[in-house]
């Protein structure tokens, strides 16, 4: 059974699957104005060795009010540990802005949805969270190797093992391909003082 089927059957963002607690999306508690650090520890996705795909793995942050990265506001932030795929961007790459962490643009030209393409994949990214309900929704996200096909999350083999660490959580993620190895992208999010 694919993870998607297990989540659908449970009608919950959290399931126990093969003895492991797995999250489809996780609510990371934050205070209004809280600064957090997102650090990608590793990423390796081959979608089961399917040669026609060169997938990209990323981190998705969704908040009820606003997230700021280098003073760029959004409600949904996608962080990618890759250089920007210039030929695939929409709107065109002229909309690409350079900030201290990498390159940023409005995904699909949709206001409030930012993609951050990191210059250095392992460099932590600091964001400021503005919230009424006190949390960020955390998701692992992916793209099939062509940004024109969109950004995907929360279906097929998607799931995260969430481990509590000092000041935050570590996320071990499985992507679209249902191999259940939970090593396609590993990242941590920590509250800053």
| 99-154 per-position pLDDT tens digit | 999 999 887 666 788 999 999 998 999 999 999 999 999 999 988 666 666 777 77
| pLDDT tens, position by position, 17-29 | 888 999 999 999 9
Q: What pLDDT was estimated at residue 145?
A: 65
Q: Which of 45-59, 118-132, 155-169 is the least confident region?
A: 45-59
Give strand pairing partners of 173: 160, 185
Which of the pair, 172 or 51, is modelled with greater confidence?
A: 172
Q: What pLDDT was estimated at residue 148?
A: 63
160: its two tokens: 């995260």
Place of tokens 């949390």: 135
Confidence of residue 77 (pLDDT cuts 50, 70, 90): very high
Residue 10, exposed/middle/buried by CB under 10 A (0-12, 13-18, 19+)? middle
Looking at the chain, list the stretches that DSSP marks H as alpha helix, in order from N- to C-terminal side.
3-10
Residue partners of 189: CB distance under 8 A and separation at least 6? 28, 36, 37, 38, 39, 136, 138, 168, 169, 171
CB 107 within 8 A of CB 113: yes
Q: What pLDDT was estimated at residue 66?
A: 96
CB 41 within 8 A of CB 186: yes
State the Cα–Cα distance between residues 170 and 164, nearest whole angstrom.
Answer: 6
24: its two tokens: 């489809």
CB 161 within 8 A of CB 172: yes
Confidence of residue 93 (pLDDT cuts 50, 70, 90): low
Give strand pairing partners of 103: 98, 117
176: its two tokens: 């679209």
Q: What angle do CA 31, 161, 101 make, to 5 degrees?
A: 55
CB 143 within 8 A of CB 104: no
5: its two tokens: 């089927």
């Amino acid at each position: 059974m694919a993870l998607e089927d297990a989540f659908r059957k449970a009608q919950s963002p959290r399931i126990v699957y093969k003895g492991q607690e797995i999250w489809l999306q996780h609510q990371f508690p934050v205070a209004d104005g809280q600064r957090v650090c997102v650090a990608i520890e590793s990423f390796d996705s081959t979608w089961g060795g399917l040669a026609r795909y060169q997938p990209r793995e990323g981190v998705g942050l969704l908040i009820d009010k606003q997230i700021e990265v280098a003073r760029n506001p959004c409600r949904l932030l996608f962080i990618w540990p890759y250089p920007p795929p210039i030929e695939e961007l929409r709107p065109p790459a002229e909309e690409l802005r350079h900030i201290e962490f990498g390159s940023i643009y409005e995904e699909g030209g949709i206001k409030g949805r930012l993609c951050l393409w990191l210059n250095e994949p392992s460099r932590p990214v600091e964001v400021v969270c503005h919230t009424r309900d006190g949390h960020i929704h955390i998701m692992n996200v992916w793209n099939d190797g062509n940004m024109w096909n969109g950004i995907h999350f929360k279906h097929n083999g998607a799931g995260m093992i969430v481990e509590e660490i000092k000041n935050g959580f570590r996320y071990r993620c499985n992507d679209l391909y249902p191999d259940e190895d939970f090593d396609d992208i590993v990242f941590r999010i920590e509250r800053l003082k």
